[in-house]
Amino acid sequence: MGEFDRVLSVDRDIVDDPYPVWGAMRERCPVFTEPRFNVVVVTKYDDIVDVARRTEDFTSILAAYGPNAHDRGDIPARLCALARTAGTPDAPPPGWVDQLLDAYVPDLQDQLQHVDPPLHTHHRRIVSRWFTPASVIEREPHIRAIARSLIERFADGGRVEMLDAFAGPFPATVVADTIGIPEEHRELFLDWKEEIIGNPEAEGSRSTSQRYRQIRELFGSFIAARRVEPRNDMITTLVQARTPAGELLDDTAILGLLMLFLGGGQETTAKAITTGLRLLGERPQLQDRLRAEPERIPAFVEEVLRFDPPVRGIFRMARHDTTIGGVDVPEGSLVQIMWGSGNRDHSAFGDADVFDPDRYAGGRHGDRPTLTFGHGVHLCPGAPLARLQTRIAFEELLGTFGRLSLSDINEFRYFRSQILRGLAGVWLDLEPA
């Protein structure tokens, strides 16, 4: 087996620390076709940005599926299977990707991350009002109140597992509020975690789980209720939205978009918070500094997001024969652009493997834009909300506790995923201020 053949593996050594492998790949083969899934893995910053911008060459149709789309419908499964033949004698005749896309895209009214412009542009415009910087800042007092109410439950200190106690339920509650989930139903939604996203060994169990079915049924009832009685929430926004043809979105389209924001809105922020807690726990002096100078917390948050982002990378598919960084990429090739690797590229960030909480201090913008929330037309619309929640989390935790110490029972295991990156738990010994 070659040195980089396991780059997409969810084996424990790769999942827990992919950075050495990514670093070696950037140096020796920044565009590498791994053999198990026949995926072109892109690890250098400039190449990643290049692929993200070229929507005419690379479709996002399998963005969050990658090589594990077997249960996502007929055409995604066919695309996934045919991608493994890209560049081989078994590949279909030229033009097959666009032919399948033409057949499939009209059915993607319930997607955002899997469609390309102009449909993506339309969908993004529908939901963007909930994630503008001005809208997010307006909701800051309410979001801070949610954080404080959760922290009150363990304000006396002691040993606390922070993913379950705070990092998970905090963004989940914020997302539930934004979407418009009634309080009496939130427990079901707050318990729902998508830790299996991008895990080839577990993919498929989510869509058939009892909880998943219950959530879809409840969303259906909420959609019906908003058609009769609109409210100031995302469900109402989607119920009143129209397709590019001027028709109201149907329930399937609304449901798909709601499921996207329910899962994605929770996962990235929860993982950013737990990552930041580990980094803080390893740096007691930094805790003291941030308490004394809380205006430095936003720069700390930005460096957490750059240094160890909650998304490893997402997938694209070559629409025709093309190149990446001078390397030939056949039509139909699955391509994974590794956001996490790009954020550690020394050609883009000085001392990229060093965690520097002052990198973004004083209004500085570091070196290049981070890739944490993507790049180009698919830049995550929820990024302002995620940044705000993460900042509030650390402001409130540092203001409540005089010491956040890593417990000696931590194993620092990460979720097994080709797409997401985050701790499966982090235990802290908390001392009240």
Question: Could you write out the DSSP letters of every residue in 219-248?
Answer: HHHHHHHHHHS--SSHHHHHHT-B-TTSPB
If you average pLDDT over residues 76-101, what whole number do you get?
Answer: 89
Residue 205 domain flag? yes
Residue 73 domain flag? yes
Higher model confidence: residue 155 or residue 249?
155
Residue 351 domain flag? no
User: What tokens were used for 99?
Assistant: 């032919």
Residue 357 domain flag? no
pLDDT band at 62 (very low <50, low <70, confident <90, very high): confident
pLDDT band at 93 (very low <50, low <70, confident <90, very high): very high
Q: What is the pLDDT of residue 230?
A: 95
**Statement: residue 204 has pLDDT above 50:** no
Higher model confidence: residue 63 or residue 316?
316
Residue 282 domain flag? no
**Statement: residue 369 has pLDDT above 80:** yes
Separation of alpha carbons 77 and 65, rounded Å: 10
Lowest mean pLDDT among 66-70, 90-94, 343-347: 66-70
Residues 6 or more apart in contact with residue 106 via CB below 8 angstroms: none
Q: What is the pLDDT of residue 253?
A: 82
Q: What is the pLDDT of residue 76?
A: 78
Lowest mean pLDDT among 31-35, 93-97, 207-211, 382-386: 207-211
User: What tokens were used for 182?
Assistant: 């009634």
Q: Are strands 31-34 and 322-324 parallel, antiparallel or unpaired?
A: unpaired
**Statement: residue 193 has pLDDT above 60:** no
3-class state of residue 199 by DSSP: coil
If you average pLDDT over residues 318-342, what whole number do you get?
Answer: 97
**Statement: residue 199 has pLDDT above 50:** no
Q: Give the domain range for residue 394.
A: 12-276+309-340+368-432
**Statement: residue 202 has pLDDT above 50:** no
Domain of 82, CATH number, reads: 1.10.630.10
Residues 6 or more apart in contact with residue 315 via CB below 8 angstroms: 39, 60, 62, 63, 64, 65, 66, 67, 334, 335, 336, 337, 419
Q: How far is CA 168 from CA 125, 202, 239, 257, 318, in A?
A: 28, 21, 28, 21, 35
Residue 2 domain flag? no
Q: What is the pLDDT of residue 201?
A: 45
- CA-closest candidate to residue 264, choices 147, 371, 381: 381
Residue 238 domain flag? yes
Higher model confidence: residue 424 or residue 207?
424
Q: Where are the alpha helices (DSSP H) in 282-336?
A: 284-292, 297-307
Residue 286 domain flag? no
Higher model confidence: residue 344 or residue 106?
344
| 269-304 tens-digit pLDDT | 999 999 999 999 999 999 999 999 999 999 999 999
If you average pLDDT over residues 86-102, what whole number do you get?
Answer: 90
Three-point CA angle 191, 196, 201, nearest 5°:
145
If you average pLDDT over residues 216-235, what whole number do you get?
Answer: 93
**Statement: residue 342 has pLDDT above 90:** yes
- How many domains does the structure of the chain reveal? 1
Q: Write down the mean pLDDT value for the chain.
A: 89
**427 alpha carbon, distance to own chain's centre:** 23
Higher model confidence: residue 69 or residue 256?
256
Higher model confidence: residue 40 or residue 120?
40
Q: What is the pLDDT of residue 196?
A: 35
